[in-house]
């Protein structure tokens, strides 16, 4: 097993008085794919968003516990959240490229980091698009609007966009749920390639997808972490009955 990249200790989250995450603890190893599964509304997306502090954007949220990335608690008072998000990227459920050209979408991240040299930007754009396995499809259309691409292509543009800022961890919130099977397959293939360099954490409501793509799987239910283990074990020989019930479709 690889080194632990993210260590979560007793993380609880409240929306107002409603306890949405109940003392979650887990270790996420680096350069592997960890999947969060569970029925709708069980807290897996909420938990994902705590890893890059996107929940800060919502009013009335209180968080207890710690999230350590490379042994630094990201909920510490002195953390620079803006820089944190450069290290921990996010892909959203519905692809959200900016209303700009493909090139400007990818170059957005480097530009806000102060890179303005055209040659360097060109290089970064090409590299990121290649890493996202979409370079060939868009290399002649770099200056067209990103919104003119298909849903699956837009999602890969969003992935390229995240890659352009050189993250170490990539969070994916149901990245293929809005896509057709062919695009979904492409995304899953991409994840398989990306894990060689990046730590990937993916939320999915599609169990088969989790089984196909991940190395570790964690089952969430009603804000609790039920079980977390290597994917083969979860899907063939789970320790908890609840896990077995969910896998076999008895609920959720």
Partner 1 sequence: MNRNIKDTIVESLTGVCVLVIIFIIVAILTITIIGGWPNLNWTFLSEFPKDGMTKGGIFPAIVGTAVMTIIMAIAAVPFGVITAIYLAEYANEKSVIAKTIRFAVKTLAVVPSIIFGLFGLGFFIGFVGKNMDAIFSGGELKWGQPNILWASLTMALLTLPVVIVSVEEAIRTIPRDMREASLALGATKWQTIRKVVLPGSVSGILTGTILAVSRGAGEVAPILFTGAVYFSSNLPHSLSDQFMSLGYHIYIMSTQSSNVDATQPIQFATTLVLLLLTFSLNAVAVILRYRIRQKAK
Partner 2 sequence: MSKKEDIVTFNKKKFRFSDWFAEKVIKAVAFLSIAVVILIFIFVFREAFPIFRMDKTVAATTQTLVQERYGGAGTDNSTPKLADNQVANSNKTHVPVDKPSATLLSKTWMPVSDNPRYGLWPLFLGTLKVTLVALLFAAPISILAAIYTAMFAKPRIREIIKPVIELLAGFPSVVIGFFALMVMATVFQNIFGYASRLNAFVGGIAMGLAAIPIIYTLTEDALTAIPKTFTEASLGLGASRRQTAFYVILPAAVPGIFAAVVLGLGRIFGETMIALMATGNAAMISINPFDSVRTLSATIGAEMAEVVFGDTHYNVLFLIGSLLFIFTFALNALAEFYFKNLVVRKYQSRK
Q: Candidates 22, 23, 87, 100: give the one binding partner 2 (CB under 8 A).
A: 87
Which residue stretch of 105-113, 132-140, 219-227, 242-250 sits at the interface with partner 1 (rule: CB under 8 A)?
105-113
| CA atoms within a 13 Å half-sphere pointing along the CA-CB vector of 35 | 26
Cα 35 versus chain centre, distance: 9
Q: What whole-number distance in Å separates Cα of residue 53 and Cα of residue 202?
A: 16
- CB atoms inside a 10 Å sphere around CB 181: 8
Q: Considering CB distances under 5 to 8 angstroms, the limit depending on partner class, which of partner 1, partner 2, none binds residue 99? A: partner 1
Q: What whole-number distance in Å separates Cα of residue 137 and Cα of residue 229?
A: 37
What's the min distance (Å) between Cβ of 54 and partner 1?
A: 7
Q: Candidates 40, 57, 60, 80: give the one binding partner 2 (CB under 8 A).
A: 80
Please report which helix (H) or strand (E) contains residue 8, including its range.
strand 4-15
Regarding 58 and contact with partner 1 (CB under 8 A), the answer is no
Nearest-CA neighbor of 23 among 223, 236, 247?
Answer: 223
Q: Considering CB distances under 5 to 8 angstroms, the limit depending on partner class, which of partner 1, partner 2, none binds residue 89? A: partner 1
Regarding 127 and contact with partner 1 (CB under 8 A), the answer is no
Dmax (CA) of the chain = 57
What's the min distance (Å) between Cβ of 89 and partner 1?
A: 7
Which residue stretch of 14-22, 81-89, 186-194, 209-217 sits at the interface with partner 2 (rule: CB under 8 A)?
81-89
Q: Candidates 48, 124, 158, 228: give the one binding partner 1 (CB under 8 A).
A: 158
- CB atoms inside a 10 Å sphere around CB 212: 16
Q: Which is nearer to partner 1, 7 or 100 (CB)?
A: 100
Residue numbers at the binding site for partner 2 (CB under 8 A): 69-70, 72, 74, 77-84, 86-87, 166, 168
Residue numbers at the binding site for partner 1 (CB under 8 A): 52, 54, 57, 82-86, 89-90, 92, 94, 96-100, 108-109, 111-113, 158, 161-162, 165
């Amino acid at each position: 097993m690889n080194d632990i990249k993210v260590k979560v200790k007793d993380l609880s989250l409240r929306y107002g008085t409603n306890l949405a995450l109940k003392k979650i603890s887990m270790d996420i190893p680096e350069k592997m794919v960890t999947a969060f599964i569970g029925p709708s509304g069980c807290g897996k997306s909420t938990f994902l968003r705590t890893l890059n502090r996107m929940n800060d954007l919502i009013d009335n949220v209180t968080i207890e516990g710690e999230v350590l990335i490379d042994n630094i608690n990201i909920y510490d008072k002195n953390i620079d959240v803006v820089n944190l998000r450069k290290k921990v990227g996010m892909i959203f459920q519905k692809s959200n490229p900016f209303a700009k050209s493909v090139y400007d979408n990818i170059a957005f991240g480097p530009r806000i980091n102060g890179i303005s040299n055209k040659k360097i930007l060109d290089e970064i754009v090409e590299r990121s698009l290649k890493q996202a396995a979409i370079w060939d499809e868009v290399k002649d259309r770099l200056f067209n609007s990103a919104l003119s691409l298909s849903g699956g292509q837009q999602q890969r543009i969003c992935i390229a966009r995240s890659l352009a800022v050189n993250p170490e961890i990539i969070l994916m919130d149901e990245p293929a749920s809005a896509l057709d099977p062919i695009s979904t397959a492409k995304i899953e293939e991409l994840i398989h390639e990306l894990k060689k360099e990046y730590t990937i954490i993916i939320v999915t409501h599609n169990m088969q997808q989790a089984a196909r793509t991940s190395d570790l799987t964690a089952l969430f239910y009603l804000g609790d972490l039920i079980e977390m283990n290597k994917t083969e074990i979860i899907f063939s020989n789970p320790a908890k009955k609840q896990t077995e019930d969910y896998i076999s479709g008895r609920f959720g």
